Structure formats: C-alpha cells, structure tokens
Amino acid sequence: MGLAAPGRGAPRPARPPRPHVIAASCTRLLLAAVLLTACAPEAATLPAAPSPAPLVATPLPTAPTPTPTAPAPSPTRALVTPLPRTPTPAAPRYDLVILGAALIDGTGAPPIPDAAVAIRAGRIVAIGGATDLSYSADTPVRNLAGATILPGFVNAHAHTRGLTDDELRAWVRAGVTTLRDLGGPPDEVLALRDRIAAGGDPTLPRLVVAGPIVNVPGSFSTRVYGVNPGLLLVEGPDDARAGIEALASRGVDLIKIAVSGRTDVSWAELSNEELAAIISTATARGLRVSSHVDRASALRRAVEQGISDAAHSPRDPIPDDLIDLMVARGVGLVPTIAVYEGLAIERGNVVEWRRLIQPVMYDNLRRFAAAGGLLALGDDYGGAPGLTLGMPMEEIRHWAAAGLTPLQIIVAATAGGARVLGLEAELGTLTPGRAADILVVAGDPLADIEALARPVLVLHGGVVVRS
C-alpha cells in the first residue's frame, strides 16, 4: 500500500484546548498445478519485558526504527516523547485513536492493559496506556471495550493464483493484511501485486511475490504437477544464475526454490552447485531465497548453502545441530502443518498422518521455538484442500496443540512474518513509525487463541477496512 510518511505531529489547536484523557475500559483448492511447495520464517521467543509504562503520545519519529523484535528492557518501552504538559495545552490531533482492553505489540512484550494507539497519515504515532494519551477534541476515537489490539497479521506462505479480489479481501477483513505468495505463474502474480500496489485499495492485501518455483527437470514439482508456467526449470549452475537474473530483472520480491519433494521417493533435486548459484545470484540482487523442503537432509543442504527461510517443516525430525545452525544464521521456518494435514485428508491417509507425521512436525516446531528460532505463520493456502481464506486458524490450532503459547503464535504471525519477508522496518509490530496495519479482536487471545477468529476492527495502512 502506498503509505504516507510519518506525520509531523503538529497539534491542531482548532478549538479551545480541551484535551481528552480517556480511561478506557472500556481451493479454493487451487491445487493449481503449480503449488505444493513452500517457504519458511522464524519464530521469536522473546524475553519477557517489564510491565509497560503508561504511555504517551507525541511527535513522531520520522522514520521507522529498525527491528523491534526484541523488547527493550526499559520500563518506558511504550513511551514516545512525553507530551509537554505545560505550557502547551493543545493536545495533538490524530486521524484516529483506538482504545481497547489490551494491546499486544508483536514484539513479545507483555500486553499493555487499557491501551491506546494513535494513528496519523497511515502510521502508528503512539501507543501506551489510554489514561495517558492526550488528543484533541476533534480526534476520532474508537473505544472497543473488552477488545485486544494487535498488529496486522502476515501469512508467510500462501498462493493467490486464480483468486478474485473478493477472495483476497477475505484475508484483509480477517486481519491478515500482508501475504507472501510463494509460487505462481509470474505473469499472473506479478501483475496482481502491481495492480494492488498501484490501485491503493486498502481492502486488498499487501503482496510479496516470488513468481515461479525454481527447480530442476525431473523433480517432484514436474512429476506431481507437470511442467507449467508456475515453474522455472534450470539445469546446471550457469543456467540457474541466468534464470535468477531474469527473475530479478522481472521484479520478483524473492526467489522460491524447491529442494526436496517427498520422503518416500528419489526424484531429481537441485544440486549443491545449483543451490549455491541461485542463492549467490539472488543475494547479489537483494533477494531472499525461500525453500520448499520435505526432508531434514534437504533442509540441511539448503541451510548450508544460504537460504533465508524454509517454507515447510520437514516430515522427519530436524536434528538439534541443524536447528542451532538455523538459529545462528537467522534462517526462518514456516511450518505449514495445516497443508500437510489437508493433503493427507485428500489422499485418505489422515489417520496415519496424525499418528506418524503430525507428532514429528509438532516436535520440530516446539524445539525450533525453544531454541529461539525465527518462526513465521503461514498455511500454504492454495496448496491443499481444506484451508480457509482469512485468519489461518487451522495452522494456529496446530501450533497451539504443539504447545506454543498464544503470545509465541502472535509474535510469529506479526513480527516474525515481517522479518521473514524483510519488512520488519515497515510492519509487524505496533511501534511508532510503522504502518498502521492493525487487527482488533473481541476478547483476549492470550487466554483463548480462538479470539483471533473474532475480528472487530481492521486497519490497513491506517484505513479502516473492517468495522
């Protein structure tokens, strides 16, 4: 979305200064012949931060501050510059102030109770305790008693091919304001991304697009789906370099590769030389590389060659030393457990899948999170039947069943997703300067994760898209 630069914070004393101080209490199985592969982000297990100081509004930072995945230890974390309380009686005017029972900023810090967030020019300007936020009498206010304010969610693994605008809007209305499309015909997905970016319609999601999945002839991609426009087949390092250069010149946002297909067959795979050529070329062009992987051995090759994230969890155990290597290199993981369940249901072997594979994927996820790995939430929508447009609750329920806390899940879906997409300076946390992509849900998702499926207000780029 075209987001304006942070506002300037000039109070607008249009009327007698009457600062308000509020105490809040208030597939479509697209199984397109193309998909089926994946990408992966990271999870952040963050240290708990001290309880937040109440808040404050103020002059905006001019630019987003980098990376807030780790909460600052200071108890004044939530503070921006304190408002001059004296001789300036005029309180600032904002485009909108949202008041809720709590605010979870996405960094992993504990929630701020009776919270407020102030928005101007499409950006978050201030967050903190509602009783401390001053604003002009003509500032519009949404007072959502009992609700929880969150950053807009990121689906770090989805496929948009063939979806209508109304279907795309279902994600945004659910609070998923950003999607990463990990594989589709470049003509189609790049055109969609560009049309959305140019149109400025905030009811459509921000798209980050990979274009075709890069693989070799005879790989699982071609054997399962056939040669199709959603694949780029390369043979040898020189061909791989040329292919990536061409994609970069075409404007893709990242490169998606597939290293392994299925665990039970031996099909052709990208060689280490081809992987190295792809990743070095992509890196030189400023592009991240996300990889489909099904096996830990393939994940190891991909990590050693330098991928940015794994778009799926392997179906076999990830060795601890490989988890350590991923953490050390900042390689993300997007488990997409839900898509595997969907495929198992489609193939009629879900009972066996739940007995044999699901526990392994849960264990991979738990150990990766416990090690402080970078997790991002994604469900591989479009890769299997049974996944729903909107909040990826199937995937969220798997993570909860695996033992992740609601806060870990929320951090992965917000700050984690932003980091895996390389957009952490722009979105993913409720931090002054970031885009005002905001999801407000009824209830407390830390007590009941199902609250994430109860949106009451969604903003995209500061514009209300669900109310």
Site residues (vs Zn ion, CB under 5 A) = 35, 37-38, 182, 380, 383
Q: For the stretch 297-329, what's the b/e string if a residue is b when 16 or more beta carbons lie within 10 angstroms of its beta carbon?
A: bbbbbbbebbbbbbbbbbbbebeeebbeebbee
Return the number of the residue (37 or 148) whose C-beta is nearest Zn ion: 37
CB of 225 to Zn ion, least distance (A): 11
Residue 104 DSSP code: -
The CB-side HSE value for 111 (13 A sphere, CA atoms) comes to 22
* CA atoms of 181 and 201, how far apart (whole Å): 19
Residues in the chain: 467
User: For the chain, how big is the Rg over CA atoms in Å?
Assistant: 22
Return the number of the residue (144 or 182) whose C-beta is nearest Zn ion: 182
Cα–Cα nearest to 220, from 158, 342, 338, 312: 312
| Residue 221 phi, psi (nearest 5) | -55, -45
CB distance 238 to 270 below 8 Å = no
Nearest-5° angle of CA 103, CA 109, CA 112? 30
Return the number of the residue (38 or 318) whose C-beta is nearest Zn ion: 38
Return the number of the residue (24 or 35) whose C-beta is nearest Zn ion: 35
- Tell me the C-alpha to C-alpha distance, in Å, between residue 464 and each of 139, 173, 426: 15, 10, 18
CB of 377 to Zn ion, least distance (A): 14
CB of 213 to Zn ion, least distance (A): 8
Strands in 121-233 per DSSP E: 123-129, 134-135, 141-151, 153-158, 176-181, 206-209, 213-215, 231-233
Return the number of the residue (56 or 338) whose C-beta is nearest Zn ion: 338
Nearest-5° angle of CA 132, CA 113, CA 454? 125
Return the number of the residue (139 or 221) whose C-beta is nearest Zn ion: 221
Return the number of the residue (208 or 439) whose C-beta is nearest Zn ion: 208
CB of 334 to Zn ion, least distance (A): 9
CB of 441 to Zn ion, least distance (A): 27
Pairing of strands 141-151, 438-442: antiparallel
CB of 129 to Zn ion, least distance (A): 41
CB of 35 to Zn ion, least distance (A): 5
Q: Give the bridge partners for 119, in sequence order.
A: 96, 124
Show the tokens assigned to 153: 């969610």
CB of 263 to Zn ion, least distance (A): 17
Return the number of the residue (34 or 350) whose C-beta is nearest Zn ion: 34
* CA atoms of 409 and 390, how far apart (whole Å): 16
CB of 353 to Zn ion, least distance (A): 18
* CA atoms of 171 and 393, how far apart (whole Å): 12
CB of 36 to Zn ion, least distance (A): 6
CB of 221 to Zn ion, least distance (A): 11
Q: Give the bridge partners for 270, in sequence order.
A: none
Return the number of the residue (228 or 280) whose C-beta is nearest Zn ion: 228
CB of 159 to Zn ion, least distance (A): 6
- Tell me the C-alpha to C-alpha distance, in Å, between residue 296 and each of 146, 301, 451: 44, 9, 34
The CB-side HSE value for 137 (13 A sphere, CA atoms) comes to 8
Q: Among all chains, which residue has been given the structure tokens 């040329």?
A: 242
Cα 270 to chain centroid distance, Å, stands at: 27
Return the number of the residue (134 or 155) whose C-beta is nearest Zn ion: 155
Return the number of the residue (302 or 407) whose C-beta is nearest Zn ion: 302
Nearest-5° angle of CA 203, CA 204, CA 210? 160
